[in-house]
Amino acid sequence: MANQSTSVFTIKGNTIDLSQYGITNVEEIYYNPSYEELFDHEMNPALEGFERGILTTSGAVSVDTGVFTGRSPKDKYIVHDAVSENTVWWSTIGKNDNKPITPEIWSHLKKQVVNQLSNKKLYVVDAYAGANHDSRLSVRFIMEVAWQAHFVKNMFVRPSDEDLKTFKPDFVLINGSKAINPQWKEQGLNSENFVAFNLTE
Protein backbone atom coordinates (compact mmCIF):
# COMPACT_ATOMS: atom_id res chain seq x y z
CA MET A 1 0.00 0.00 0.00
CA ALA A 2 1.13 3.56 -0.67
CA ASN A 3 -0.46 6.72 0.60
CA GLN A 4 0.24 10.04 -1.07
CA SER A 5 -1.72 12.50 -3.15
CA THR A 6 -0.09 11.84 -6.51
CA SER A 7 -0.16 9.42 -9.40
CA VAL A 8 3.41 8.11 -9.01
CA PHE A 9 4.13 5.51 -6.34
CA THR A 10 7.11 3.33 -5.48
CA ILE A 11 5.89 0.10 -3.92
CA LYS A 12 7.77 -3.16 -3.43
CA GLY A 13 10.65 -1.70 -5.40
CA ASN A 14 8.51 -0.91 -8.46
CA THR A 15 7.67 2.63 -9.56
CA ILE A 16 4.07 2.87 -10.73
CA ASP A 17 3.06 5.98 -12.66
CA LEU A 18 -0.69 6.00 -13.27
CA SER A 19 -0.56 9.44 -14.90
CA GLN A 20 0.80 7.78 -18.05
CA TYR A 21 -2.67 6.23 -18.40
CA GLY A 22 -4.45 9.52 -17.69
CA ILE A 23 -5.34 8.65 -14.08
CA THR A 24 -4.56 11.57 -11.76
CA ASN A 25 -4.61 12.53 -8.07
CA VAL A 26 -4.76 8.96 -6.83
CA GLU A 27 -5.39 8.89 -3.07
CA GLU A 28 -3.92 5.48 -2.38
CA ILE A 29 -2.72 2.37 -4.19
CA TYR A 30 -3.04 -1.19 -2.96
CA TYR A 31 -0.41 -2.94 -5.05
CA ASN A 32 -0.67 -6.71 -5.49
CA PRO A 33 -2.55 -6.92 -2.17
CA SER A 34 -2.61 -10.12 -0.13
CA TYR A 35 -5.73 -12.27 0.12
CA GLU A 36 -6.06 -11.19 3.76
CA GLU A 37 -5.99 -7.52 2.78
CA LEU A 38 -8.52 -8.08 0.00
CA PHE A 39 -10.81 -10.00 2.36
CA ASP A 40 -10.81 -7.10 4.82
CA HIS A 41 -11.64 -4.66 2.03
CA GLU A 42 -14.35 -6.85 0.47
CA MET A 43 -16.07 -7.30 3.82
CA ASN A 44 -16.04 -3.61 4.74
CA PRO A 45 -19.59 -2.95 6.05
CA ALA A 46 -19.50 0.58 4.63
CA LEU A 47 -19.49 -0.78 1.06
CA GLU A 48 -22.72 -0.68 -0.91
CA GLY A 49 -24.09 -2.30 -4.05
CA PHE A 50 -21.98 -4.66 -6.12
CA GLU A 51 -18.78 -3.66 -4.29
CA ARG A 52 -19.77 -5.41 -1.07
CA GLY A 53 -18.83 -9.01 -0.37
CA ILE A 54 -20.87 -11.49 1.66
CA LEU A 55 -19.29 -14.25 3.73
CA THR A 56 -20.81 -17.64 2.91
CA THR A 57 -21.20 -20.53 5.34
CA SER A 58 -18.15 -22.20 3.75
CA GLY A 59 -15.99 -19.16 4.50
CA ALA A 60 -15.76 -18.00 0.89
CA VAL A 61 -16.62 -14.46 -0.20
CA SER A 62 -19.65 -14.14 -2.46
CA VAL A 63 -20.36 -11.04 -4.55
CA ASP A 64 -23.31 -9.82 -6.58
CA THR A 65 -22.07 -8.59 -9.95
CA GLY A 66 -25.27 -6.64 -10.56
CA VAL A 67 -27.02 -6.78 -13.92
CA PHE A 68 -24.00 -8.45 -15.55
CA THR A 69 -23.66 -12.15 -14.80
CA GLY A 70 -21.17 -12.89 -17.56
CA ARG A 71 -19.62 -11.36 -20.63
CA SER A 72 -21.32 -8.53 -22.53
CA PRO A 73 -20.21 -9.33 -26.11
CA LYS A 74 -22.49 -6.80 -27.79
CA ASP A 75 -20.73 -4.03 -25.84
CA LYS A 76 -17.20 -5.04 -26.92
CA TYR A 77 -15.29 -2.72 -29.27
CA ILE A 78 -11.83 -2.65 -30.84
CA VAL A 79 -10.15 0.40 -32.33
CA HIS A 80 -9.97 -0.07 -36.10
CA ASP A 81 -6.59 1.24 -37.23
CA ALA A 82 -3.50 0.17 -39.17
CA VAL A 83 -2.49 -2.33 -36.48
CA SER A 84 -5.87 -4.03 -36.10
CA GLU A 85 -6.82 -3.89 -39.80
CA ASN A 86 -5.29 -7.27 -40.61
CA THR A 87 -4.87 -8.76 -37.14
CA VAL A 88 -8.52 -8.72 -35.98
CA TRP A 89 -11.32 -10.71 -37.59
CA TRP A 90 -13.72 -8.03 -38.90
CA SER A 91 -15.91 -10.29 -41.05
CA THR A 92 -19.63 -9.52 -41.12
CA ILE A 93 -20.38 -13.08 -42.26
CA GLY A 94 -21.77 -15.17 -39.43
CA LYS A 95 -21.68 -14.20 -35.77
CA ASN A 96 -18.87 -11.79 -34.97
CA ASP A 97 -18.68 -9.69 -31.83
CA ASN A 98 -15.57 -7.77 -32.94
CA LYS A 99 -17.08 -4.34 -33.50
CA PRO A 100 -14.88 -1.48 -34.71
CA ILE A 101 -14.67 1.99 -33.21
CA THR A 102 -12.67 5.02 -34.29
CA PRO A 103 -9.68 6.34 -32.33
CA GLU A 104 -11.86 9.36 -31.50
CA ILE A 105 -14.55 7.23 -29.85
CA TRP A 106 -11.81 5.30 -28.03
CA SER A 107 -10.44 8.56 -26.60
CA HIS A 108 -13.92 9.51 -25.42
CA LEU A 109 -14.48 6.13 -23.74
CA LYS A 110 -11.06 6.15 -22.12
CA LYS A 111 -11.77 9.60 -20.71
CA GLN A 112 -14.91 8.27 -19.02
CA VAL A 113 -12.88 5.52 -17.37
CA VAL A 114 -9.89 7.58 -16.22
CA ASN A 115 -12.23 10.24 -14.84
CA GLN A 116 -14.01 7.51 -12.88
CA LEU A 117 -10.74 6.25 -11.40
CA SER A 118 -9.01 9.57 -10.73
CA ASN A 119 -9.11 10.95 -7.17
CA LYS A 120 -9.76 7.46 -5.77
CA LYS A 121 -8.13 4.67 -3.82
CA LEU A 122 -7.17 2.05 -6.39
CA TYR A 123 -5.99 -1.52 -6.68
CA VAL A 124 -3.13 -2.30 -9.05
CA VAL A 125 -2.36 -5.94 -9.77
CA ASP A 126 0.61 -6.91 -11.93
CA ALA A 127 0.40 -10.50 -13.17
CA TYR A 128 1.28 -12.84 -16.01
CA ALA A 129 -1.11 -14.24 -18.59
CA GLY A 130 0.42 -17.64 -19.33
CA ALA A 131 2.92 -19.78 -17.46
CA ASN A 132 5.54 -20.14 -20.22
CA HIS A 133 8.30 -17.61 -19.61
CA ASP A 134 8.93 -17.16 -23.35
CA SER A 135 5.35 -16.49 -24.42
CA ARG A 136 3.56 -15.06 -21.38
CA LEU A 137 2.22 -11.52 -21.33
CA SER A 138 2.90 -9.14 -18.48
CA VAL A 139 -0.45 -7.51 -17.69
CA ARG A 140 -1.26 -4.61 -15.37
CA PHE A 141 -4.81 -4.38 -14.00
CA ILE A 142 -6.09 -1.13 -12.47
CA MET A 143 -9.46 -1.04 -10.66
CA GLU A 144 -11.35 0.48 -7.74
CA VAL A 145 -13.29 -2.58 -6.51
CA ALA A 146 -11.55 -5.01 -4.14
CA TRP A 147 -13.24 -8.22 -5.30
CA GLN A 148 -12.23 -7.49 -8.89
CA ALA A 149 -8.60 -7.42 -7.72
CA HIS A 150 -9.28 -10.70 -5.90
CA PHE A 151 -10.62 -12.24 -9.13
CA VAL A 152 -7.51 -11.15 -11.05
CA LYS A 153 -5.23 -12.52 -8.33
CA ASN A 154 -6.98 -15.89 -8.64
CA MET A 155 -7.02 -16.08 -12.44
CA PHE A 156 -3.52 -14.96 -13.43
CA VAL A 157 0.01 -16.07 -12.58
CA ARG A 158 1.44 -14.07 -9.68
CA PRO A 159 4.98 -12.72 -10.12
CA SER A 160 7.57 -13.16 -7.39
CA ASP A 161 8.59 -10.12 -5.33
CA GLU A 162 11.84 -10.12 -7.29
CA ASP A 163 9.96 -10.13 -10.62
CA LEU A 164 7.82 -7.20 -9.46
CA LYS A 165 10.89 -4.98 -9.10
CA THR A 166 11.40 -5.02 -12.87
CA PHE A 167 7.82 -5.70 -14.00
CA LYS A 168 6.95 -3.81 -17.21
CA PRO A 169 3.42 -4.40 -18.55
CA ASP A 170 2.93 -5.53 -22.14
CA PHE A 171 -0.79 -4.87 -21.79
CA VAL A 172 -2.73 -2.59 -19.43
CA LEU A 173 -6.35 -3.19 -18.46
CA ILE A 174 -8.08 -0.18 -16.89
CA ASN A 175 -11.28 -1.33 -15.21
CA GLY A 176 -13.72 1.51 -14.59
CA SER A 177 -16.72 -0.72 -13.93
CA LYS A 178 -18.81 2.20 -12.66
CA ALA A 179 -18.19 4.33 -15.75
CA ILE A 180 -20.91 4.71 -18.37
CA ASN A 181 -21.01 6.40 -21.76
CA PRO A 182 -23.84 8.95 -21.98
CA GLN A 183 -23.15 9.53 -25.70
CA TRP A 184 -23.54 5.92 -26.82
CA LYS A 185 -26.51 6.58 -29.11
CA GLU A 186 -24.82 9.42 -31.00
CA GLN A 187 -21.73 7.24 -31.42
CA GLY A 188 -23.73 4.31 -32.78
CA LEU A 189 -22.83 1.96 -29.93
CA ASN A 190 -24.98 -0.75 -28.37
CA SER A 191 -25.55 0.73 -24.90
CA GLU A 192 -24.03 2.96 -22.24
CA ASN A 193 -21.79 0.05 -21.18
CA PHE A 194 -18.56 -0.74 -22.97
CA VAL A 195 -15.43 -2.85 -23.10
CA ALA A 196 -12.94 -1.24 -25.48
CA PHE A 197 -9.55 -2.39 -26.74
CA ASN A 198 -6.80 -0.36 -28.36
CA LEU A 199 -3.99 -2.53 -29.73
CA THR A 200 -1.90 0.50 -30.69
CA GLU A 201 -1.94 2.77 -27.64
Provide the pLDDT for residue 33: 94
Provide the pLDDT for residue 13: 63
Provide the pLDDT for residue 105: 98
Q: Where are the beta strands (DSSP E) in the chain?
A: 2-6, 8-11, 14-17, 26-31, 53-55, 61-63, 76-79, 99-101, 121-129, 137-143, 171-175, 195-197
Per-position pLDDT tens, the chain of length 201: 444 446 677 776 667 899 999 999 999 999 999 999 999 999 999 998 889 999 999 999 999 887 777 788 999 999 999 999 999 999 888 788 999 999 999 999 999 999 999 999 999 999 999 999 999 999 999 999 999 999 999 999 999 989 998 899 999 999 999 999 999 999 999 999 999 999 999
Looking up residue 150, the CATH number of its domain turns out to be 3.40.449.10
Provide the pLDDT for residue 94: 78
Backbone angles phi, psi at 64, to 5 degrees: -105, 115
Backbone angles phi, psi at 6, to 5 degrees: -160, -170
Provide the pLDDT for residue 12: 65
Separation CA 80–CA 72 (nearest Å): 20
pTM of the predicted structure, to 2 decimals: 0.91
**Domain count across the chain:** 1
Quote the domain boundaries for residue 69.
2-197
* H or E element, residue 39: helix 35-42
